[in-house]
C-alpha cells in the first residue's frame, strides 16, 4: 500500500473486500466477542476491547495515511491523549507543551495529570530555540500542535524533533488541524502523530474519535498495551464512520483549503477585521515554513475583529450559513468565539485568548455563499 498515492491509500488501505462475504466496504462488526474453535484458537480476535475487525481496518488506514508503521484508534482525541500520557510517562516526568494548544489538552495536563506527579510546562513552539531552552532534565515528551489553536502559529516539526532526539526526548504532534493530507509529522521526524478523528478525519461532524500513529515499535507496544488495559477504544460503528470519512479526505481537504484561502483574503480586506491568521496567506509570519512542511493549509482561519468580544459575539450571531458551534473539520462551516467557548477552560491562564478573536472552520459549501454570509454578518 505504501507505493500508492495518498488518495488511493485513503480509499484502500486496510479496506480490502471482506474475506467472508466479498462485501466491498468493511462491515460494521457489531460484536463484543468472537467464537474460539478451541481454547485460545481463533481468527485473531477474542474480545472487542482488545481488537475488532472494523477498528483494525481503521487503524491500518490511518497508519498508511500518516506514513507510519502502526495505527491505534480511540474513543476520542482525548482518550488517545490520555493513553499517550499513561503509557509513556510516570510520576516525576515532564511534558513540554505548546502554549497555544487545544483547551482540553491543557485541562487534561493541568487538572488530571498534574496532581499525579506528571508535570507540564508551556512554551511558544514557534521558536525552536525557546523549545530547546525550556527542556528540563526530566522532560520525556514534547507536545506540539501545528497549526495551533486558535492562533494558527506553526512549529518547525523537523527542527524540534531533531533537537528532541539528540536529548532522547519523544516528539508528539497533534495533527488534528492539518490532517495527514496537509501534514505528515512522522515524515518530518516526529515520533507520534495524534488526531482527534472527530474533526477532519471523520469530516462530517457525526462521530467522536481519536487516533495515534507511530513507527516506533517500542512506543507502539506500550500504547497498544494501555489501549487495551485502560480501554478507551471506539466502537465498531464509530470506527466505520471514521473509515468512511477517510475515503474522501483528499478531496475534502483540497476544497477546505481553497475555501479557507478565499475567506482569509476576504476577511483581510474587510474594514471590521483587524488581523487575519491563516498559514496559506503570504502575510502569515511563518508562511515559508508552512510551504516547507505542509501540503495545503487546511480549513481553519482565525481573525481578530475590531471592537473586542462584543463585536466578535455580534459577528457569530449574525452568520446564517456558518453555524455557531464548537468543533471543526466537518463539511459544513462553523464559527465560534474561543474565549467564551472552546478555550473557556484556559481563561485566567497564560493561554487565555482575547475576546475579539473569532475562529472559523471553513467548510466546503459554495465559496460565494460563504463570503456573502460573512459580509452580511460583519454588517456591510
Ligand atoms: C478536538 C481536539 C482534540 C480533542 O479531541 P476529542 O475528539 O474532542 O476528544 C484534541 N486536539 C485538537 C487539536 C482538537 O481540535
Kindly calculate the radius of gyration of the chain based on its CA atoms and give it in whole angstroms.
21
Known catalytic membership, residue 174: yes
For ligand 1, mutation pick of 78, 205, 242 (most atoms within 8 Å of CB): 78
* CB neighbour class for 244 (10 Å; exposed up to 12, middle 13-18, buried from 19): middle
Mean pLDDT of 233-238: 98
| Phi, psi (degrees; rounded to nearest 5) at 208 | -110, 130
Residues 42 and 184 in one domain: yes
> Per-residue confidence at 345, pLDDT binned at 50, 70, 90?
confident
Say which CATH number the domain at 263 has.
Answer: 3.90.1150.10
Residues 242 and 93 occupy one common structural domain: yes
| Cβ of residue 329 lying under 6 Å from some atom of ligand 1 | no
Mean pLDDT of 169-177: 98
| Angle (nearest 5°) at CA 333 between 354 and 26 | 125
Q: How far is the CA of 18 from the centre of ligand 1 (A)?
A: 31
Q: How far is C-alpha 98 from the chain's CA centre?
A: 14
Distance 195 CA to ligand 1 centre (A): 7
Residue 150 lies in a domain: yes
Q: What is the DSSP secondary structure assignment for residue 79, as one 8-state letter?
A: H
Task: Say if 92 falls within a structural domain.
Answer: yes
Same domain, 191 and 293: no
One domain, residues 135 and 229 = yes
Active site includes 90? no
Mean per-residue pLDDT for 278-296? 98
**Taking 70 as the threshold, does the pLDDT of residue 268 lie above it?**
yes
Average pLDDT over residues 176-199: 98
User: Does residue 365 fall inside a structural domain?
Assistant: yes
The helix (run of H) or strand (run of E) holding residue 88 is helix 77-88
DSSP state of 25: S
Domain check: are 171 and 121 in the same one?
Answer: yes
| Whether residues 90 and 153 fall in one domain | yes
Is the pLDDT at 342 greater than 90, yes or no?
Answer: no
Average pLDDT over residues 234-259: 98
pLDDT band at 350 (very low <50, low <70, confident <90, very high): confident
Q: Which pLDDT band holds residue 380 (cuts at 50, 70, 90)? A: low
Q: How far apart are CA 369 and CA 347, in angstroms?
A: 34
Tens-digit pLDDT profile for residues 85-119 = 999 999 999 999 999 888 899 999 999 999 999 99
Q: Which of 62, 73, 77 to mutate for ligand 1's pocket (most ligand atoms within 8 Å of CB)?
A: 77
Q: From 191, 220, 247, give the residue that closes a domain.
A: 247
11 part of a folded domain: yes
Cell 473557556 -> residue: 344
Residue with CA closest to ligand 1 atom 4: 77
Q: Is 114 a catalytic residue?
A: no
Q: What is the pLDDT of residues 27-46, one digit of tens each?
A: 999 999 999 999 999 999 99
CA 53 to centroid of ligand 1, rounded, Å: 25
- The CATH number assigned to the domain holding 100 equals 3.40.640.10
Q: For 165-179, 210-224, 337-351, which range has the lowest pLDDT when averaged over its residues?
A: 337-351
* Residue 1 forms part of a structural domain: no
% residues pLDDT > 70 (the chain)? 99
Instruction: Decide: helix, strand or coil at residue 140.
Output: strand
Write down the pTM of the prediction.
0.96
C-alpha 176 – ligand 1 centre gap (Å): 7
User: Considering the domain boundaries, does residue 86 fall inside one?
Assistant: yes
Which of these three, 192, 218, 247, is where a domain ends? 247
Q: How far is CA 32 from the centre of its chain?
A: 28
Q: Given the CA of residue 176, which atom of ligand 1 is nearest to it?
A: 13
Pocket lining: 139 vs ligand 1, CB cutoff 6 Å: no
Residues 220 and 366 in one domain: no
pLDDT of amino acid 163: 98
My answer on whether 373 and 265 are in the same domain is yes
SS3 of residue 196 by DSSP: strand
So what's the pLDDT on residue 263? 98
In a domain, 187, yes or no: yes
Q: Which of 29, 45, 102, 278 is catalytic?
A: 102
199 as an active site residue: the answer is yes
Say if residue 48 is in the same domain as residue 179.
yes
Q: State the maximum Cα–Cα separation within the chain, in Å, rounded to a whole number.
A: 73
Q: Are residues 71 and 195 in the same domain?
A: yes
Q: Is 76 in the pocket of ligand 1 (CB under 6 A)?
A: yes
- Cβ atoms 177, 145 nearer than 8 A: yes
pLDDT of residue 314: 96
Q: Which residues of 300-328 are buried (b: 16+ CB within 10 A; e: fewer)?
A: bbbbbbeeebebbbebbebbebbbebebb
- Asked if residue 281 and residue 232 are part of one domain, the reply reads no
My answer on whether 243 and 258 are in the same domain is: no
Instruction: Indicate the DSSP class of residue 186.
Output: G
Number of folded domains in the chain?
2
Strands 70-74 and 210-214: antiparallel
Domain with 321 in it: 250-377
pLDDT at 347: 82
Whether residue 55 is predicted with pLDDT greater than 80 in this model: the reply is: yes
Query: Given phi > 0 = left and psi -120 to 50 = alpha, else beta, which region is 91?
Result: beta
Chain-wide mean pLDDT for the chain? 96
379 band by pLDDT with thresholds 50, 70 and 90: confident
Domain stop point among 247, 275, 295 = 247
What order do you get walking across the sheet with 273-277 strand by strand? 273-277, 300-305, 357-361, 334-336, 323-324
Tell me which residue of 149, 150, 172, 152 sits closest to 160, measured CA to CA. Answer: 172
Q: Is 176 in the pocket of ligand 1 (CB under 6 A)?
A: yes
Whether residue 161 is contained in a domain is answered as: yes
pLDDT in the model for residue 348: 83
Amino acid at each position: 500500500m505504501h507505493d500508492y498515492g495518498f488518495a488511493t491509500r485513503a480509499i484502500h488501505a486496510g479496506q480490502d473486500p471482506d474475506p467472508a462475504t466479498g462485501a466491498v466496504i468493511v462491515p460494521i462488526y457489531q460484536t463484543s466477542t468472537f467464537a474460539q474453535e478451541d481454547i485460545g484458537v481463533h481468527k485473531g480476535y477474542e474480545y472487542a476491547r482488545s481488537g475488532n475487525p472494523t477498528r483494525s481496518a481503521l487503524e491500518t488506514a490511518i497508519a498508511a495515511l500518516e506514513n507510519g508503521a502502526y495505527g491505534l484508534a480511540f474513543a476520542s482525541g482525548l482518550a488517545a491523549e490520555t493513553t499517550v500520557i499513561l503509557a509513556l510517562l510516570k510520576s516525576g516526568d515532564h511534558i513540554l507543551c505548546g502554549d497555544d494548544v487545544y483547551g482540553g489538552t491543557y485541562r487534561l495536563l493541568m487538572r488530571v495529570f498534574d496532581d499525579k506527579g506528571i508535570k507540564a510546562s508551556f512554551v511558544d513552539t514557534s521558536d525552536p530555540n525557546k523549545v530547546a531552552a525550556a527542556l528540563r532534565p526530566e522532560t520525556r515528551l514534547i507536545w506540539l500542535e501545528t497549526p495551533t489553536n486558535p492562533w494558527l502559529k506553526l512549529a518547525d516539526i523537523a527542527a524540534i524533533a531533531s533537537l528532541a532526539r539528540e536529548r532522547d526526548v519523544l516528539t508528539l504532534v497533534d495533527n488534528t488541524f492539518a490532517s495527514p493530507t496537509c501534514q505528515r509529522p512522522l515524515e518530518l521526524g516526529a515520533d507520534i502523530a495524534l488526531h482527534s478523528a472527530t474533526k477532519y478525519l471523520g469530516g462530517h461532524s457525526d462521530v467522536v474519535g481519536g487516533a495515534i500513529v507511530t513507527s516506533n515499535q517500542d512506543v507502539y507496544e506500550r500504547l497498544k498495551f494501555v489501549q487495551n488495559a485502560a480501554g478507551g477504544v471506539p466502537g465498531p460503528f464509530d470506527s466505520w464512520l471514521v473509515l468512511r470519512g477517510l475515503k474522501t479526505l483528499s478531496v475534502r481537504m483540497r476544497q477546505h483549503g481553497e475555501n479557507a484561502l478565499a475567506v482569509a483574503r476576504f476577511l483581510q480586506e474587510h474594514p471590521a477585521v483587524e488581523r487575519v491568521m491563516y498559514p496559506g496567506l503570504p502575510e502569515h509570519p511563518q508562511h515559508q515554513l508552512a510551504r516547507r512542511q505542509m501540503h495545503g493549509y487546511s480549513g481553519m482561519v482565525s481573525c481578530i475583529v475590531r471592537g473586542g468580544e462584543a463585536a466578535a459575539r455580534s459577528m457569530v450571531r449574525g452568520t446564517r450559513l456558518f453555524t455557531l458551534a464548537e468543533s471543526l473539520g466537518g463539511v459544513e462551516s462553523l464559527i465560534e468565539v474561543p474565549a467564551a467557548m472552546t478555550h473557556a477552560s484556559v481563561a485566567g491562564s497564560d493561554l487565555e485568548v482575547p475576546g475579539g478573536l473569532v475562529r472559523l472552520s471553513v467548510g466546503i459549501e459554495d465559496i460565494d455563499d460563504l463570503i456573502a454570509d460573512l459580509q452580511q454578518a460583519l454588517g456591510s
